[in-house]
Structure 1
Amino acid sequence: MLHTAPIPTSLPDRFVFPADQLPPATTATISLPIIDMSGGRDEVRRAILDAGKELGFFQVMNHGVPEQLMLDMEVLAAEFFEMPEIDKAAYYSADINKANRLYSGTTYETGGERYWRDCLRLAYDFSVGDHVKDWPDKPQRLREIMEEYVVKARGVGMEILKMVCEGIGLRPDYFEGGISGGDVVFQMNHYPRCPDPSVAVGQPPHCDRNLITVLLPGPVPGLEVAYNGDWIKVKRIPGTFVVNFGCQLEVVTNGMLKSIEHRAMTNSEQPRTSVATFIMPSGDCLIGPAEDFIDENNPPLYRSLTFAEFKRTYNVVKLGASLNLTTNLQKAQKEI
């Protein structure tokens, strides 16, 4: 059920996390490695692998997505969340299995979301004719811009995956087919101004369960990445995407490339909106360490699971409870 009350001036109790559950604060701010995708292919490929091994995160520029499209996406995403609640009510659902839905911790009266975040999650299925018929059509041009944007953002992710293949010795089409053939999940995250950021969480520490993520972070800071036992604030560079490797890429490379924890912090000064594009495997795709990375000296660190099984595993153990994804996965897999 929706209500139209303004965001409260004090934080409701259900959003207050005990001190021992709050992520440690950080003051470190860095610019992630910036990779110019218009450079020589060998140079770009090497930069992607170096950044991926060091941080699991990097930024890309000259990626082929028009900057005006990125700006339009930022503006329209923010405008969607600023619309009156009555205009968004039809998209709200508490059903976590629904492909397209709006859910919220800050604006709706009921629901278990404890995080100071509103989220519009949409699925783009390349196998059907009308990909976006169930997507929001307000504000004006939102659906048109979202569809153009998600196709181009996926293209950036797939090109990066091709370069990863070239760099680590996998066949060039390794990430074609089922391993990247699920719905492209398009997620707009909105973090309203928070009455008390010191005790609230936008998104908790987590690793992405997909293959690769292409993020439009927006102009307001809030993304933080785990690094050397601490957290670093990501400095946004206009015109770039933030890219990070998901759990499936770590599994395929048997731990060579890492899926790194990250989190979203709140602030009391201004709202923040980000747009994430997740390249997902199909549910029945069997994923395990590639044979290229397995020998008598390098046993598999992970079991082979379908992506559907992996998602159940992901929910058994909160991947991100520590900085060691391998340990978390191995512990979770015992539950299957």
Structure 2
Amino acid sequence: MVVERVQALSIAGLKELPAQFIRPDHERPENSKAVEGVSVQVVSLSQPRHSVVNEIAAAAAEWGFFLVTDHGIPPSLIRRLQEVGRVFFELPQEEKETYANDPSCGRLEGYGTKMTKNHEEKVEWIDYFYHVMSPPSKVNHQYWPKIPTTYREVTEEYNKEVLRVTDKVLEVLSEGLGLEGKALKRSLGGEEMELEMKINMYPPCPQPQLALGVEPHTDMSALTILVPNDVPGLQLWKDNHWVAADYLRNALFIHIGDQIEVLSNGKYKSVLHRSLVNKDSTRMSWAVFCVPPNEAIIGPLSELVDEKNPPKFSTKTYAEYRYRKLNKLPQ
């Protein structure tokens, strides 16, 4: 199956967007501009523990999103991660196609385009590369880029660092709910919790005011840990308007996903967000989705449910949740 790649369209010098990329009026960035002057929460992990817990719990409840600094991931490693991703997307098109995925038959890992479709049959201005990064039992290196040759080494090193940060953030979020530190990770499968890497590539777009890189959505993950390049585009829905999440060098952008919202019985919010595109510059981001294994049973934690706080969500396996989300069925 031949898929039209967004990057190839951009390189070819497209002057006007094909109809499938033009969003409905109410979704177009030109008609739904972000408000100015609203700052998202930035949390330094080097603060005393109680300050970290209070700040992250408040941001997760109010925004479903926050930035962390002083997280211990070397800036040089983040730069190397970004470099190996850039090099892959600079390969000749026929080389990239050897990694093409096929979602129609359930093979999601690899190089792809148009990850989601919606009721208007509109598609997003994005190419991506997606693969499982952890645990080792779920990793299939045949899907990972062979070029650049350092891709695997750099990504495995980053995986170790992200696992460490994920553990810390989940501990802090657990404590913010009044639970012991391991409560959330244990519910997400413990050491079987999976990390999935998705490199998002948004090439220059001839009419960015009409298109979206990613349409408004919440992540089905528990957490998403993201590093962008310096081209802005991420926006969050807060108080009935869009807010731009400004770039902060070496910070990690952390999204609360659906599974944490469910486990916390709604105390923490899964953040609605979207990605804009740029006329002149390529935007890229490296998202790591922290998800439970398919067989994990996810529902509001019993410690957070009582007569005054009945469960707000049904309990089901992550596989069923994922199927319903992807097929836009009620949960």
Secondary structure of the corresponding residue to residue 206 of structure 2: coil
Residue 17 of structure 2 corresponds to: 11
1:146 alignment partner AA: T
Per the TM alignment, residue 198 of structure 1 is displaced from its structure 2 partner at its CA by 1.4
Q: How does 1:280-299 map to 2 (within 5 A)?
A: 280-299=291-310
Alpha-carbon spacing, 1:99–1:114, altered in 2? closer, same or farther (3 Å): closer
Q: Quick one: which of 95, 100, 105 aligns to 2:103?
A: 95
CA distance, structure 1, for counterparts of residue 311 and residue 40 of structure 2: 30
CA distance, structure 2, for counterparts of residue 126 and residue 48 of structure 1: 26
Per the TM alignment, residue 114 of structure 1 is displaced from its structure 2 partner at its CA by 1.3
Residue 150 of structure 1 corresponds to: 159
Q: How does 1:254-293 map to 2 (within 5 A)?
A: 254-293=265-304
Alpha-carbon spacing, 1:9–1:151, altered in 2? closer, same or farther (3 Å): farther
TM-score normalised to the size of structure 2?
A: 0.89
Residue 40 of structure 1 corresponds to: 48
2:150 paired with 1:141? yes
2:297 alignment partner AA: L
CA distance, structure 2, for counterparts of residue 132 and residue 94 of structure 1: 17
Per the TM alignment, residue 28 of structure 1 is displaced from its structure 2 partner at its CA by 2.3
2:83 paired with 1:75? yes
CA distance, structure 1, for counterparts of residue 136 and residue 147 of structure 2: 25
Secondary structure of the corresponding residue to residue 184 of structure 2: coil
Q: RMSD value over aligned CA atoms?
A: 2.2
Per the TM alignment, residue 9 of structure 1 is displaced from its structure 2 partner at its CA by 2.3
Alpha-carbon spacing, 1:20–1:34, altered in 2? closer, same or farther (3 Å): closer
Percent sequence identity is 28
**Equivalent residues of 2:227, 2:287 under 8 A apart:** yes
Q: Which 5+ residue runs of structure 1 have no aligned equivalent?
A: 107-111, 319-331
Per the TM alignment, residue 129 of structure 1 is displaced from its structure 2 partner at its CA by 8.9
CA distance, structure 1, for counterparts of residue 230 and residue 298 of structure 2: 36
1:266 alignment partner AA: V
Q: Quick one: which of 253, 260, 265 aligns to 1:249?
A: 260
Alpha-carbon spacing, 1:290–1:28, altered in 2? closer, same or farther (3 Å): same
**Equivalent residues of 2:23, 2:122 under 8 A apart:** no
2:23 alignment partner AA: F
2:231 alignment partner AA: V
Per the TM alignment, residue 124 of structure 1 is displaced from its structure 2 partner at its CA by 2.0
Alpha-carbon spacing, 1:116–1:255, altered in 2? closer, same or farther (3 Å): same
2:39 paired with 1:26? no
Alpha-carbon spacing, 1:157–1:284, altered in 2? closer, same or farther (3 Å): same
Residue 319 of structure 2 corresponds to: 308
Residue 214 of structure 1 corresponds to: 225
Q: Quick one: which of 225, 247, 250 aligns to 2:236?
A: 225
Per the TM alignment, residue 81 of structure 1 is displaced from its structure 2 partner at its CA by 1.2
1:163-188 Cα shifts (integer Å, max 9, x gaps) = 11122122322233461434311000
Secondary structure of the corresponding residue to residue 98 of structure 2: helix
CA distance, structure 2, for counterparts of residue 130 and residue 95 of structure 1: 18
Q: Which 5+ residue runs of structure 2 have no aligned equivalent?
A: 116-120
CA distance, structure 2, for counterparts of residue 167 and residue 284 of structure 1: 26
2:150 alignment partner AA: R
Secondary structure of the corresponding residue to residue 200 of structure 2: strand
TM-score normalised to the size of structure 1?
A: 0.87
**Equivalent residues of 2:81, 2:154 under 8 A apart:** yes
Per the TM alignment, residue 296 of structure 1 is displaced from its structure 2 partner at its CA by 0.9
